[in-house]
Amino acid sequence: MKWTANKLDLVELIYALQASGALNYGEAELKDICSSFEQIFQIKVGDLYRSFHDISNRKKQQVKFVGKLEEKLIQKIEELDGYFPDN
Question: Model confidence over 13-62: pLDDT tens digits?
Answer: 999 999 999 999 999 999 999 999 999 999 999 999 999 999 999 998 89
Whether residue 17 is contained in a domain is answered as yes
Note whether residue 87 is domain-resident.
no
Range of the domain at 58: 7-80
Is 13 domain-assigned? Answer: yes
- In angstroms, the CA 24 to CA 57 distance is 29
Say yes or no to pLDDT of 85 above 70. no
Yes or no: say if 32 and 65 are a contact pair by the CB < 8 Å rule: no
In a domain, 86, yes or no: no
On whether residue 54 sits in a domain, the answer given is yes
85 belongs to a structural domain = no
Q: What is the pLDDT of residue 86?
A: 65
The verdict on residue 2 lying in a domain is no
Total structural domains within the chain: 1
Whether residue 87 is predicted with pLDDT greater than 90 in this model: the reply is no
Q: pTM above 0.85?
A: yes
32, 83 in Cβ contact below 8 A?
Answer: no
